[in-house]
Amino acid sequence: MKVISFSELRANMAKHFDRVEEDHDELIVTRQNREPMVVMSLSDFESWKETMYLTSNPVNKERLLRSIAELDEGKGIEVDFDALLSGK
């Protein structure tokens, strides 16, 4: 996560926005006597919001964490959803 001043953002906005989009990394923008701001791509923000929603329920969060652990242990199965939906 990179931290820059508001003046730097203003001077090189396109460059910084491109980096945020390409690297999927947040950009912290400092402002004089004001709270810093976070810049992130819309797709990353929407993904973040969905993750927060899915993990806001403790039961759902535990299921997700358990599923991730099972995948990490090689216990997952591969599913072709297109074939599944088409009945093949």
Which phi and psi (to 5°) does residue 51 adopt? Answer: -60, -45
Q: How many angstroms from the chain centroid is the CA of residue 87? A: 33
The per-residue pLDDT for 77 is: 85
User: Does the predicted TM-score (pTM) go above 0.85?
Assistant: no
Q: One digit per residue, pLDDT tens: the chain, 88 residues?
A: 899 999 999 999 999 999 999 999 999 999 999 999 999 999 999 999 999 999 999 999 999 999 999 999 999 888 888 888 987 6
Give the start-to-end residue ranges of the domains of the chain.
Answer: 2-40, 43-76
Asked if 66 contacts 75 with a C-beta cutoff of 8 angstroms, the reply is: no
The CATH classification number of 2-40 equals 3.40.1620.10
The per-residue pLDDT for 87 is: 79
At 19, list the tokens: 């980096």
At 8, list the tokens: 């730097």
Judging by beta carbons within 10 Å of its beta carbon (0-12, 13-18, 19+), is residue 8 exposed, middle or buried?
A: middle
